[in-house]
């Protein structure tokens, strides 16, 4: 039993404490690679039901907690979940991904958007997070999450997942004022949503700007960074002690700029060496991530080697072990289990000195 005064590992690492081993969780740790999730999905085929009916979302969030005892339990939800509360309905269709119809492409649509009232449009989030905190106690840290304005705008404007982002970039490069108006509204609503998640029990918040790595560094500074900063600034004004993590896919070219967002921890993908990421980010920012999700398709010796390598390079302060992006649906479940077990058995003094 963990004593009631004990602060869980992930929260301690997020606050920059030196630890014997890094805390570990995985992006998308609840989901299709787990048989219990696939079975439940067969019974409840609607993603919106699975993520918005509290009993289901709580059960799914706890599936990996029960199976692997990760140090972080992330709320089962989606970055798109707050959009209907702003007047942007969505659905997630099996094998196609998110669909937003009609997509947001005109001034009229942008003007008509409502600002999010989280208590009113997302009452299930409070229930889910409160229950997760109760269930998890001090055994793990409960993570909330949101999408950042650029990435949410990309879905709302493209209407679906995109390979090249031609529609949103076309808007950025021909009608920037309209896109800025939209990004600003998203930022204010997302900040309100983050505060609501924290008030409901989230102890750490991860902001996903998954597709900001698609921007040139110059355009990142115009369309992504200022709106990440606007969210972080508003959240830190009322909740200065809640650590925030920023994740971007394909971020090696904008790593230093990610730290300018004001977050406490930068979550890096696998396109950068962890030691170089540390150097480039400096001592005041924590790091997370970096293990290629495909490592979990390798042998267990290889998985162990890569975990140790990442830990040696990240050092023993302000490091959260994670993958460089979400765990892939076809990942062998026993290798996910091995990843968690190995990470939790590591004594960092050995990992760092050997
Ligand atoms: O980490 C967790 O366990 C929490 C769950 C979570 C989901 N979505 C559940 C989900 C999280 C953190 C997200 C965030 C999210 N959603 C992101 C940012 C993270 C990233 O991957 O970059 C993005 C870009 C989305 C948008 C989204 N939702 C996409 C692109 C898809 C389809 C992906 C696919 O592989 O089909 C979704 C659907 C979705 N959200 C699934 C899950 C488990 C898969 C659908 C299902 O299980 O039925």
pLDDT digits (tens, 9 = 90+) for 143-181: 999 999 999 999 999 999 999 999 999 999 999 999 999
Mean pLDDT of the chain: 96
**Could you say which of 28, 105, 278, 306 is catalytic?**
28
Mean pLDDT throughout 34-56? Answer: 98
Convert the pLDDT of each residue in 55-101 to its tens digit: 999 999 999 999 999 999 999 999 999 999 999 999 999 889 999 99
Q: So what's the pLDDT on residue 94?
A: 87
pTM across the whole model:
0.96
Q: Which domain holds residue 188?
A: 3-353
Ligand 1, pocket-test mutation among 76, 92, 149, 320, most atoms within 8 A of CB: 92
Residue with structure tokens 């979990």? 296
Convert the pLDDT of each residue in 98-152 to its tens digit: 999 999 999 999 999 999 999 999 999 999 999 999 999 999 999 999 999 999 9
Question: What gap in Å lies between CA 53 and CA 35, rounded to an integer?
Answer: 20
Q: So what's the pLDDT on residue 69?
A: 98
Question: What gap in Å lies between CA 157 and CA 152, rounded to an integer?
Answer: 9
Question: What gap in Å lies between CA 47 and CA 39, rounded to an integer?
Answer: 13
Say how many domains are in the chain: 1
28 included as an active-site residue:
yes
Find out whether the beta carbon of 32 lies less than 6 Å from any atom of ligand 1: yes
Q: Please give the structure tokens belonging to residue 238.
A: 């009322």
**Could you say which of 12, 32, 48, 133 is catalytic?**
32
What are the phi and psi torsion angles at 242 (to 5°)?
-90, 115
Nearest CA to ligand 1 atom 40: 78
What CATH number does the domain containing 208 carry? 3.20.20.210
Find out whether the beta carbon of 28 lies less than 6 Å from any atom of ligand 1: yes
Find out whether the beta carbon of 15 lies less than 6 Å from any atom of ligand 1: no
Tally the residues of the chain. Answer: 354
**Could you say which of 41, 50, 105, 278 is catalytic?**
41
More confident residue, 61 or 316: 61
């Amino acid at each position: 039993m963990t004593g009631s005064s004990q602060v869980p590992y992930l929260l301690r690492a997020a606050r920059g404490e030196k630890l014997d081993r890094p805390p570990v969780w995985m992006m998308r740790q609840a989901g299709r690679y787990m048989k219990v999730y696939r079975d439940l999905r067969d019974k409840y085929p609607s993603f919106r039901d699975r993520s918005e009916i509290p009993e289901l979302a709580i059960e799914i969030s706890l599936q990996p907690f029960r199976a692997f005892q990760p140090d972080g339990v992330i709320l089962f939800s989606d970055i798109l979940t707050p959009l209907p509360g702003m007047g942007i309905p969505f659905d997630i269709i099996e094998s196609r991904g998110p669909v937003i119809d009609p997509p947001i492409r005109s001034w009229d649509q942008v003007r008509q958007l409502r600002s999010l009232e989280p208590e009113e449009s997302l009452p299930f989030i409070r229930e889910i997070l409160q229950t997760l905190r109760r269930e998890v106690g001090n055994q793990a840290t409960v993570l909330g999450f949101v999408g950042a304005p650029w990435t949410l705008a990309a879905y709302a404007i493209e209407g679906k997942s995109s390979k090249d982002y031609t529609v949103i970039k076309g808007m950025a490069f021909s009608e920037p004022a309209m896109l800025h108006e939209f990004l600003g509204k998203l930022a204010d609503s997302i900040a309100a949503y983050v505060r609501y998640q924290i008030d409901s029990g989230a102890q750490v918040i991860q902001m996903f700007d998954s597709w900001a790595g698609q921007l040139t560094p110059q355009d990142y500074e115009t369309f992504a960074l200022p709106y990440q900063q606007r969210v972080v600034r508003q959240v830190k004004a009322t909740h200065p002690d809640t650590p925030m993590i920023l994740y971007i896919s394909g971020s090696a070219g904008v790593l230093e700029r990610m730290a300018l967002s004001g977050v406490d921890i930068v979550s890096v993908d696998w396109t950068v060496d962890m030691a170089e990421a540390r150097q480039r980010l400096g001592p005041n920012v924590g790091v997370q991530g970096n293990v290629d999700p495909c490592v979990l398709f390798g042998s267990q010796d290889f998985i162990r080697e890569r975990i140790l390598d990442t830990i040696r390079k990240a050092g023993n302060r302000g490091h959260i072990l994670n993958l460089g992006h979400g765990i892939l649906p076809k990942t062998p479940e026993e290798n996910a289990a091995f990843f968690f077990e190995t990470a939790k058995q590591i004594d960092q003094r050995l990992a760092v000195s050997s």
